Amino acid sequence: MTKVNTVLGTIPAEELGLVAIHEHIGYGMPGSELDSKWWKTPEQAYEETVPKLRTFHENGGGTFVDATGICNGRDIDYYKSLSRKTGVNIVACTGFVGGDTALPHFARATVDYLARVFIHEITVGIGDTGSKAGIIKVGVSRGGRMTELDKRIYRAAARAAVVTGVPVLTHLAIDPEPAIAIFREEGLPLDRVLFGHADDGLNAASTPSEMIMGEGGRIGFDTFGYETELPDPPFWARPRKDRMDHFIDLVGKGYLDQLLVSADANCSPLGWPGVKGHTVNYIFEVLIPDMRTNGIGDAQLKAIFEENPADFLAIQA
Ligand SMILES: [Zn+2]
């Protein structure tokens, strides 16, 4: 039986249910926790977060994958209490959102050291929480090209993925050639990698999604809901119809099994106001109905939200 690490323990992949593959309990830039302007009491954080996760659960959501890196506000004991309160499985990650969010302690580390950190967090646990990471996060720093540090983190992640069988999830899928080369050199099959943010308004045009899927990788349409229709859209927003047309085009070309979908929302943002009006529940409130209107049927929805994520998250023994 295939297994997945959640913050409350290892469960069969068959029990994940509907999965939101790239979300955040709370995401902030490293150091935002030191800025007193943004401090929240535990009560405020719970008040912002618990209703969203309860609604997710009531809507039929089973599993919430928290793609927050080591330095961006990851808080495992808090996730455990949220999972207990709401019944939602939470998968936590090891790794970093990008080289540019790795604090100096990690930024100066060797590939070998970073790989050992990731492997420890996956196989032994994250600190003294007793929880094991279920995915490895990596990413491309701001600037559109992979930096030397990004590449070091990707290589460490690839080694950890090969040793542990846990998959890799990327922030951004631009400049994928060096990433693909590293994964190949380290012997990691590309179906163990979800190349994320292939759909956002800033990067979609320069992301070679079909090339990546042609090489065997998976593609994340994981910023659904960050759309220009919002009252105050962020710079990475995209018109709703554009994104859906792009998605439907790829489904029509036969890529359904390589596509993963999410909303990349923050339950309770850290050090920034977040994007008003956007939550993980966009998946139920807008996205699934919109997909149905565009001809996506029950079997395809099951593939997108249950089968593909279970296949991806399942630890390869
Ligand atoms: Zn994210």
Q: pLDDT tens for residues 108-137? A: 999 999 999 999 999 999 999 999 999 999
Residue pair 27/268 in contact by the 8 Å Cβ criterion: no
Return the domain boundaries, the chain: 3-313
C-alpha of residue 224 to centroid of ligand 1, in Å? 11
C-alpha of residue 31 to centroid of ligand 1, in Å? 18
C-alpha of residue 172 to centroid of ligand 1, in Å? 9
Q: What is the pLDDT of residues 208-263, one digit of tens each?
A: 999 999 999 999 999 999 999 999 999 999 999 999 999 999 999 999 999 999 99
Exposed e or buried b for every residue in 33-61, given b needs 16+ CB within 10 A? eeeeeeeeeeeebbebbbebbebbbeeeb
C-alpha of residue 21 to centroid of ligand 1, in Å? 10
| Residue range 3-313, CATH number | 3.20.20.140
**pLDDT confidence of residue 1:** 73
Q: Six-digit token pair at 219?
A: 């593609």
**pLDDT confidence of residue 88:** 98
Q: Give the rounded distance of the alpha carbon of 73 from its chain centre.
A: 14
Taking every pair of C-alpha atoms in the chain, what is the biggest distance, in angstroms?
50
pTM to 2 decimals? 0.98
- CA–CA gap between residue 265 and residue 243 (Å, rounded): 17
Instruction: Say which residues have a Cβ less than 8 Å from residue 62's Cβ, sequence separation at least 6.
Output: 15, 16, 17, 18, 19, 88, 89
C-alpha of residue 142 to centroid of ligand 1, in Å? 14
**pLDDT confidence of residue 317:** 81
C-alpha of residue 261 to centroid of ligand 1, in Å? 12
C-alpha of residue 24 to centroid of ligand 1, in Å? 6
C-alpha of residue 186 to centroid of ligand 1, in Å? 25
- Which residues of the chain have a pLDDT value below 70? none
